[in-house]
Amino acid sequence: MKYSVIAIGDELLIGQVTDTNSPWIARHMTPLGWEPAGVQVIADDEQQIDRAIDQAWQQCDVVLMTGGLGPTKDDITKGVLCRYFGGELVHNPEVERNVERVMTQRHLTVNQTTRTQAMVPSSCRIIQNQVGTAPIMWFERDGKVLVSMPGVPHETKTMMKVAVIPQLTQRFNDGNHIEFHTLVVAGIIESDIAERLDAFERQLPPHMHLAYLPQGGTVKLRLTGIHRDGDLLKQQMERNVALIHQELGNAIIGDGDKPLAAIVGDRLRTLGLTLATAESCTGGNIAHQVTSIAGSSDYFLGSVVSYANQVKTSLLGVNEADIAANGVVSEPVVRQMVQGVCKRIGTTCGIATSGIAGPGGGTPDKPVGTVWMAACRGGRVVAQVLQLPGDRMRVIERATTEALLLLLKLLD
Amino acid sequence: MKYSVIAIGDELLIGQVTDTNSPWIARHMTPLGWEPAGVQVIADDEQQIDRAIDQAWQQCDVVLMTGGLGPTKDDITKGVLCRYFGGELVHNPEVERNVERVMTQRHLTVNQTTRTQAMVPSSCRIIQNQVGTAPIMWFERDGKVLVSMPGVPHETKTMMKVAVIPQLTQRFNDGNHIEFHTLVVAGIIESDIAERLDAFERQLPPHMHLAYLPQGGTVKLRLTGIHRDGDLLKQQMERNVALIHQELGNAIIGDGDKPLAAIVGDRLRTLGLTLATAESCTGGNIAHQVTSIAGSSDYFLGSVVSYANQVKTSLLGVNEADIAANGVVSEPVVRQMVQGVCKRIGTTCGIATSGIAGPGGGTPDKPVGTVWMAACRGGRVVAQVLQLPGDRMRVIERATTEALLLLLKLLD
C-alpha cells in the first residue's frame, strides 16, 4: 500500500521551520509495510493545496496531511478540505469540549480564535486530538483515505501513534511483509564500502535493496526487503546481514539503527564502566548526546564544560605551565583534561576535547577546525588531533562523533 | 521568479535522514526575492524523478535538485537527467582532476567507484564541486534552469553559496524587492497573540503578510512583504514592525531572527555579566545551546553536568541532607546547584536544572516531565517548577528553553 505526505505551512516553505514530521511518519509507517510515494511541502495556499491533493490522490491509497490547522489567519487548510470533499463547516460540540479540556490542562482560557477549532467539515469523521486543540479529520473517497492532522510535531506524532496508524492498519492490509536491518560502519568511507560490497550487492535478490547513509563520521548501511512470504524474507535478511558482517568485519560498530551515543552506552553498560566528559570546544554537546539516550544514568556520571581556561586549571587540574607552553588546544592539555575529569567525577572512562570551532580564534598553526581530543579507560589514555571542515556547528558535531569513536576503540 | 526543490534519496523518503537542505535553500533564496513554489521529496527512482521534474518544470523558472549523485549503486539521478535533457554520458577530464584533488585533500585514494563521478551528461554545463567529488550540473531549456547538486548538506550549502545562487541571481532578475522582519515573543500563546494583533493584521497592505511560528516556549512572528518599490516597502516594514512593538510591548524578547541562546548572550554581553550552568536533566544541552553561538566565550565560562548525585554534592556543594529530605528534583537542590556553580566557576549569573526527562524515573508525586529550574544574577536567585509534556528529547529541549527564559527575566 502506498501513502504520501503533504506538509503544509509557509514556515516550512521559507525554511524557518524544518519538516521533521515527514521523516518521523516514514520511520513509523515503512516498518508496517507502507511504501512512501513522496513528500510534498507546500504553502498555506488554496491552489497549492488543491494541486497537491490531486497529485497525491492519483498515486496513493492514503494521503497524510500535516499542518495548516492552527487557529490563526495564515492557516486555511480546513476550508480547502471542506470545499474539496463537499459538505459545509459545522459546529462540533465534542471538539469544543476537547478544546476546553486541553486549554484547562494548560491553565489557559478559551478565546474566540481557539473556539473556531470546533468548526469542522461535515464530510469528515473526527478523531479527537488528545494533546492539542486542532481536531484530526479523516476523509474517504473511492476507497482511498486522506487524514488531516495538526503540524505541531508533538501533536502529529502522538496522534499518529495512538489513532491514525492503528486505524490505517485496520483499514488496509495488502499482505506484503517488510524487513529492515541497519548496520553502522566507521573508519571506511562510502565509496570504499561500495567497492568491498560490490559482489555482495550483485547477488542480492531483486526484492532486496542496500542503501548507504553517510552521517558525518559514520555510514549507516540499510538493507530492505519487501515480499509476500514473510518467513522466506526473514531468512534472506539474516543470510545477507551475515554476508555484510563477513565482508566488513570490525568496521561494523553497531548492529541495528542506533545513534553512536547509544552504541557507546551499550558497551559501557556491558563492561560495567562509567563515563565523564571534559569539554571545551564541544561545549557540552558530548554530554548532551550521551544523556539523550534513555537509561544513560546507568553509566554517565557527569561532565565539566571548561570553556574558560581558569575552569580547566581549577576544576580539572590542568597545569598552567602546559597551557602557556603548548596552548590550550594541545595534546598535553586534553590528556590532563580527561584524566582530571575522571578523577574529579570518579569514573573509569572519560572523553576530553579542546579545539577551535570558529568562526574566530584560528591561527596559521592551528586554523579553525583544529580539534585535540582524548579518551581514557582506566589508566590508558589515547589522544588524536583532527582538522575538521565546515562551519561552527559542523565542527562541534563532527568533533563529538570523533571523540565518541575514539572512546569506542578502547571498549572492545 | 519562482523556484522549487526536488530532494532525492531513499534515505529521506524512509525517514532515516531529515531533509535540511530545502529549508536552508529557502532561507537563502527567499531574501533575494525568489518565491518558493514547493518541495518534493522523492525516492532514487527513475519514474519518480521524471514526474517530479515535469511537475516542477511546469510551475517554476528554476528547479533545484539535491541528492542522488553519490558514486554508489542507489544513486541514479545522473542517468535520468542525461535521458531527460538528451545527449550522452561523456568523460570530463576537469571533473576527474577535481575528484583527485578532493580525494588527495582527504588523504584518500581514488577508486573505480569514485572515478565514475567524472562521467557527466553532454547536455549540461558543469560547475566544479569545491568541497566534494560529485559535480554540479546546470541544464537549460525553454528559458528555464535545472541545477542538480549533491545531497551531502555541507556540499549543497557551500556550492549554493559560492556558485549556484550568484549565477542564478545573474541569470534571472525580475525587479521585485522583498523585506522580512522577525520578532521573538515569549510568555503569550499563539492564539492570544493573534487576538491582540487582529486589528493590526486587518490594516496590513495586501502585499504584506504576518506568519506565526511557535517553537516550544517561544513564538516567532515573521512579517514579509514583496513589492516593486523597495523604498516604499522598507517604510511600510518599519511602520508595521513598530505597530507590533506597540501592541505586544515587553512580551517581545528579541528583534530579528535569533535563537534564544543568542538573545540571552547579547544581554549578558551588554551588561558585562558572565554565565555558568549546572545541569542535571538537561544533561549539557543548555551549555551546548549557549556555546553554539559564535562569540559565546565572551560571557560563558563553563558548566558542571551533575548527572549523578555525588557530583551535585562534591562539585556543586549541594547539601546531602537536603537531597535526602526533598529529593534531588526539588527547589532547595536547584537553588544550591545554581549558587554552587556560580561560586565554583566564578560567574555573576547561573542556570540550574533538575528534573525527570523520562521515560523512567517518574513517581506519582513527581511524574515524568517534572523539572525544577533556577537562575541567578549576583545574589538574586529565582526558581520555578514546570510540568513539561512529551518524550525525553522534548522535555530536555523545553526545559532548556524555559531555563534560558527564566534567566532572561533577570537581565532587564
DSSP string for residues in B287-317: HHHHHTSTTGGGTEEEEEEE-SHHHHHHTT-
| Residues in chain A within 8 Å Cβ distance of B8 | none
- The DSSP result for B375-399, as a single string, is EEETTEEEEEEEE--SSHHHHHHHH
What pLDDT is stored for residue B281 in this prediction? 97
Which residue of chain A has the CA closest to B210? A74
- Start-end of H helices in A30-181: 46-59, 77-85, 93-105, 112-115, 153-159, 165-171
Q: B381 with B335: CB under 8 angstroms?
A: yes
| Residues in chain A within 8 Å Cβ distance of B16 | 23, 27, 182, 213, 220, 222, 257
- Among B297, B305, B308, the residue with its CB nearest the CB of A307 is B297
What pLDDT is stored for residue B73 in this prediction? 61
Q: Is B83 helix (H, G, I), strand (E, B) or coil?
A: helix
In chain B, what is the straight-line distance between the N-terminal and C-terminal CA atoms, in Å? 43
| Residues in chain A within 8 Å Cβ distance of B306 | 302
CA gap A183, A264 in Å, rounded: 15
- The DSSP result for B9-41, as a single string, is -HHHHTTSS---HHHHHHHHHGGGTPEEEEEEE
Exposed, middle or buried by CB within 10 Å (0-12, 13-18, 19+), for A382?
middle
List beta partners, residue B22: none
Helix (H) or strand (E) holding B91: strand B89-91
Write down the domain spans for chain B: 2-171, 177-255, 260-409
Contact flag A191-B152 (C-beta cutoff 8 Å): no
* Mean pLDDT (whole number) for A315-319: 97
Q: Is the domain B260-409 a CATH 3.90.950.20 member?
A: yes
A117-143: burial string, b at 16+ Cβ within 10 Å, e else: bbbbbebbeebbbebbbbbbbbbeeee
Cis check for the bond before B93: say yes or no (omega within 30 of 0): no
- Among A17, A19, A392, the residue with its CB nearest the CB of B213 is A17
> What cell numbers appear for A199 in the block?
559482489
- The DSSP result for B188-209, as a single string, is S-HHHHHHHTHHHHHHS-TTEE
pLDDT reading at A390 higher than 90: no
- Looking at chain A, how many residues does it have? 412
What pLDDT is stored for residue B30 in this prediction? 83
Q: B402 with B287: CB under 8 angstroms?
A: no
Q: What is the ipTM of this complex?
A: 0.81
CA angle A51, A67, B371 (to 5 degrees): 165
> What cell numbers appear for A392 in the block?
561552527
| Residues in chain A within 8 Å Cβ distance of B197 | none
> What cell numbers appear for B69 in the block?
549523485
- Among A213, A307, A389, the residue with its CB nearest the CB of B300 is A307
**Cβ of residue B130 closer than 8 Å to a chain A Cβ:** no
Q: Residue B211 carries which side chain, given as an amino acid letter? A: A
CA gap A239, A121 in Å, rounded: 51
CA gap B156, A10 in Å, rounded: 22
A contact test, residue of B12, B16, B220, B297 with most A CBs within 10 A: B16
Query: Is the CA virtual torsion A69, A74, A79, A83 positive or negative?
Result: negative
Q: Which residues contact B411 (CB under 8 A, 6 or more apart)?
A: B264, B267, B268, B271, B273, B349, B377
pLDDT range class, residue A89, cuts 50, 70, 90: very high
Query: Is the CA virtual torsion B58, B59, B62, B67 positive or negative?
Result: negative
pLDDT reading at A245 higher than 80: yes
What pLDDT is stored for residue A277 in this prediction? 98
Query: Is the CA virtual torsion B237, B239, B243, B245 positive or negative?
Result: positive
The pTM of this model reads: 0.82
What pLDDT is stored for residue B75 in this prediction? 74
- Among B195, B214, B306, the residue with its CB nearest the CB of A111 is B195
Q: B11 with A211: CB under 8 angstroms?
A: yes
| Helices B260-271, B392-409: inter-axial angle, 10-degree rounding | 30
- Among A72, A346, A360, the residue with its CB nearest the CB of B294 is A360
CA gap B151, B35 in Å, rounded: 22
Which residue of chain B has the CA closest to A15? B23
> What cell numbers appear for A225 in the block?
526487503
> What cell numbers appear for A411 in the block?
571498549
Contact flag B18-A20 (C-beta cutoff 8 Å): yes
Q: B292 with B261: CB under 8 angstroms?
A: yes
Contact flag B194-A72 (C-beta cutoff 8 Å): yes
Residues of chain B predicted below pLDDT 50? none
CA gap B48, B51 in Å, rounded: 5
Which residue of chain A has the CA closest to B11? A213
| Residues in chain B within 8 Å Cβ distance of A344 | 315
Q: Is A27 helix (H, G, I), strand (E, B) or coil?
A: helix
Percentages (nearest 5) of helix, strand, coil residues in chain A? 45, 25, 30
Contact flag A345-B315 (C-beta cutoff 8 Å): yes
> What cell numbers appear for A179 in the block?
524487513
Distance in Å, alpha carbon of B90 to nearest chain A alpha carbon: 21
- Among B20, B43, B71, the residue with its CB nearest the CB of A191 is B71
* Mean pLDDT (whole number) for A351-379: 95
Closest CA to B347 of B257, B407, B283, B393: B407
Closest CA to B291 of B278, B303, B306: B303
* Residue B365 CB neighbours (<10 A): 8
> What cell numbers appear for B278 in the block?
549546572
> What cell numbers appear for B193 in the block?
497573540
CA gap B207, B226 in Å, rounded: 6
- Among A36, A292, A305, the residue with its CB nearest the CB of B393 is A292
Give Rg (Cα) of chain A.
Answer: 26
CA distances to A224, A347, B109, B203 from A302, rounded to whole Å, are 39, 9, 41, 54
Instruction: Let me know if the fold of B177-255 is the same as that of B260-409.
Output: no
Q: Is the domain B2-171 a CATH 3.40.980.10 member?
A: yes
What pLDDT is stored for residue B314 in this prediction? 96
CA gap B89, A129 in Å, rounded: 53
- Among A41, A195, A310, the residue with its CB nearest the CB of B39 is A41
At which residue does the C-alpha cell 525580475 appear? B174
pLDDT reading at A202 higher than 90: yes
Q: List pLDDT tens digits, range A146-196.
A: 999 999 888 999 999 999 998 998 898 777 787 889 999 999 988 899 999
Contact flag A73-B16 (C-beta cutoff 8 Å): no
CA gap A236, A225 in Å, rounded: 9
Show which of residues 202-261 on chain A sit within 8 Å of chain B, judged by CB atoms. 209-215, 220, 222, 224, 257
**Cβ of residue A189 closer than 8 Å to a chain B Cβ:** yes
Fold of A177-255: Alpha-Beta Plaits (3.30.70)
Helix (H) or strand (E) holding A406: helix A392-409
A345-368: burial string, b at 16+ Cβ within 10 Å, e else: bebbbbbbbbbbbbeebeeeebeb
Which residue of chain B has the CA closest to A200? B73
Show which of residues 12-71 on chain B sit within 8 Å of chain A, judged by CB atoms. 12-20, 22-28, 30, 36-43, 48, 52, 55, 70-71
In chain A, what is the straight-line distance between the N-terminal and C-terminal CA atoms, in Å? 43
| Residues in chain B within 8 Å Cβ distance of A30 | 14-15
**Cβ of residue B393 closer than 8 Å to a chain A Cβ:** yes
Torsion of CA A412, A403, B9, B56, to 10 degrees: 170
Show which of residues 140-159 on chain A sit within 8 Å of chain B, judged by CB atoms. 152, 154
Q: List pLDDT tens digits, range A43-87.
A: 989 999 999 999 999 989 999 999 988 776 667 899 999 999 999
CA gap A402, A81 in Å, rounded: 49
CA gap A290, A300 in Å, rounded: 8
Q: B35 with A13: CB under 8 angstroms?
A: no
Q: Which residues contact A30 (CB under 8 A, 6 or more apart)?
A: A36, A178, A180, B14, B15
CA distances to A133, A152, B247 from B185, rounded to whole Å, are 21, 18, 12
